[in-house]
């Protein structure tokens, strides 16, 4: 048992840090530091820089642009990106669709799509959820019927994150309505968002932001060549994709950055007679969250060290189930601490010109006006990507045998 980073790992962290310092545009860094999401242009520009450096998709096979790194080394890179803070490579492309294509795609699909996914020449979004199929994803209804060498897609997707930016969408569709089990008769399709018959309608969330959308499909023609894997076996792709999400969901690097930043601003922020940071109740709540985050950091490293093992030696690791549940709880808890720190000025709505109806003049510091918006927004964390309740169901069955 060796519980410290090696000299090589520490040197790599320094290398990443100075590369990010030299390459991240100041404007992007400032926007990220204020707690906003990057603009599309910022996201694309930054991912292209990472791609040129060979760091956009280090977890992919080397032949598709990956790096022969240990899981720990990949963790160091992503932690440094999160804690700068800089935009992380687009998850839909790099963590979701890319690995699915590598595992299930045809040679043509791999050659055509993988480089574009890694470089963000194509921006993908995810079409899984439907109004009637959330946690019970397999009950989805959006249908694709074969007609010659095409599928004709009809139906609706919802909660489609950043569909407004997307060039393409990967879809789960029902190709056999008569299948014996819900999980059967589902297929995985890639669809160009410019195809006639697709309508994207924004959903404005309670924080006033436009992040998610409804996407409607009305007789949308999709070439057969865009089927990933086997027809009616799309659930295999979906399961594979969802199981790949684990360690990223803890977002320990991002939460550490948020905490460090909060400490700095809370030292300067009036909390009545003295700065907020000097209020023992605030400080003790903050420390309590930090302690849990430290434990989560260790848990993440344990899971990563496990992933360094050869596949044949790996056992299901109960620690991996902790990441989504605690990771999201802690992100939510940190957002509450920002609200506490912001105090009365936290009541002012953000003046983000891109947000719906929130184009107010500057009345307080960005972090203050964003505190409640972020708190509202992050309630989603324990819902999407498998709600906390779904995670616990899985744990009770898979690890506890209940």
What angle do helix axes 318-342 and 252-268 make, rounded to 10 degrees? Answer: 20
Asked if 110 interacts with another protein (CB under 8 A), we say no
Q: How far apart are CA 48 and CA 98, in angstroms?
A: 16
Among residues 9, 214, 231, 245, the one annotated as catalytic is: 245
Pick the closer one to another protein by CB: 177 or 310.
310
Tell me whether residue 224 or residue 291 sits nearer to another protein (CB atom). 291
Contact 75, 301 (CB under 8 A): yes
Distance of closest approach, residue 324 Cβ to another protein, in angstroms = 10
Compose the 62-101 pattern: x for residues touching another protein by CB under 8 A, - for all others.
Answer: ----------x-----------------------------
Nearer to another protein, 340 or 348 (CB): 340
264 is a site residue for another protein (CB under 8 A)? yes
Strands 124-127 and 168-174 come out as: parallel
In the bound state with another protein, the residue whose beta carbon lies nearer, of 152 and 259, is 259
Q: Which of residues 285-304 bind another protein (CB under 8 A)?
A: 286-288, 290-296, 298-299, 301-302, 304
Number of residues that bind another protein (CB under 8 A): 51
Q: Map the footprint of another protein across residues 178-197, applying CB under 8 A.
A: none
Compute CA distances 367 → 32, 86, 158, 201, 261, whole Å.
11, 17, 30, 29, 10
Q: What is the 3-state secondary structure (H, E, C) of 173-230?
A: EECCCCCCCCCCCEEEEEEECCCCCEEEEEEECCCCCEEEEEEEEEEEEEEHHHEECC
Q: Pick from 90, 215, 322, 341: which binds another protein (CB under 8 A)?
A: 322
Please give the Cα distance from 327 to 302 (Å, whole number). 15
Residues ≥6 apart with Cβ < 8 Å to 172: 127, 128, 137, 140, 142, 186, 187, 188, 189, 234, 238
Interatomic CA distance for residues 249 and 59, integer angstroms: 15
**Residue closer to another protein, measured from CB, 148 or 401:** 401
- CB closer to another protein, 117 vs 286: 286
| Residue 146 touching another protein (CB under 8 A) | no
Extract the tokens encoding 162.
């950043």
Q: Decide: is 2 part of the binding site for another protein (CB under 8 A).
A: yes
Please indicate whether residue 79 is annotated as part of the active site.
Answer: no
Which residues are known catalytic residues?
245
Interface contacts to another protein, rule CB under 8 A: 1-6, 9, 72, 256, 259-261, 263-264, 267, 280, 283-284, 286-288, 290-296, 298-299, 301-302, 304-306, 318-319, 321-322, 325-326, 389, 391-393, 395-396, 399-402
């Amino acid at each position: 048992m060796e519980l410290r980073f090696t000299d090589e790992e520490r040197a790599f962290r320094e290398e990443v840090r100075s590369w990010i310092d030299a390459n991240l545009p100041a404007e992007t860094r400032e926007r990220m530091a204020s707690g906003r999401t990057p603009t599309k242009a910022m996201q694309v520009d930054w991912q292209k820089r990472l791609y040129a450096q060979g760091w956009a998709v280090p977890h992919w096979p080397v032949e598709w642009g990956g790096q022969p790194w240990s899981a720990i080394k990949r963790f160091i890179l992503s932690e440094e990106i999160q804690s700068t803070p800089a935009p992380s490579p687009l998850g839909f492309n790099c963590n979701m669709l890319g690995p699915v294509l590598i595992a299930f795609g045809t040679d043509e699909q791999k050659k055509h799509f993988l480089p574009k996914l890694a470089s963000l020449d194509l921006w993908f979004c995810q079409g899984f959820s439907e109004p009637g199929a959330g946690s019970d994803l397999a009950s989805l209804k959006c249908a694709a019927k074969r007609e010659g060498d095409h599928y004709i897609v009809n139906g609706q997707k919802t909660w489609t994150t950043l569909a407004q930016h997307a060039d393409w969408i990967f879809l789960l569709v029902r190709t056999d309505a008569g299948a014996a089990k819900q999980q059967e008769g589902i297929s995985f399709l890639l669809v160009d968002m410019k195809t006639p018959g697709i309508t994207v309608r924004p959903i404005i969330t309670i924080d006033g932001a436009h992040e998610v959308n409804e996407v409607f499909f009305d007789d949308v023609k999709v070439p057969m060549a865009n089927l990933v894997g086997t027809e009616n076996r799309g659930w295999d792709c979906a399961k594979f994709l969802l199981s790949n999400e684990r360690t990223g969901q803890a977002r320990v690097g991002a939460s550490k950055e948020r905490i460090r930043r909060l400490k700095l601003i809370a030292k300067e922020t009036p909390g009545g007679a003295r700065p907020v940071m000097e209020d023992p109740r605030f400080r003790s709540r903050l420390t309590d969250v930090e302690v849990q985050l430290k434990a989560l950091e260790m848990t993440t490293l344990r899971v990563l060290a496990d992933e360094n093992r050869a596949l044949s030696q790996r056992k299901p690791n109960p620690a991996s189930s902790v990441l989504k549940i605690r990771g999201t709880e802690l992100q939510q808890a940190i957002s509450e601490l920002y609200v506490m720190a912001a105090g009365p000025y936290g009541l002012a709505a953000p003046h983000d010109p891109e947000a719906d109806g929130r184009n107010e003049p500057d009345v307080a510091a960005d972090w203050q006006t964003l505190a409640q918006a972020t708190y509202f927004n992050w309630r989603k964390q324990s819902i999407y990507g498998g709600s906390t309740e779904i995670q616990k169901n899985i744990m009770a069955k898979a690890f506890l045998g209940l």
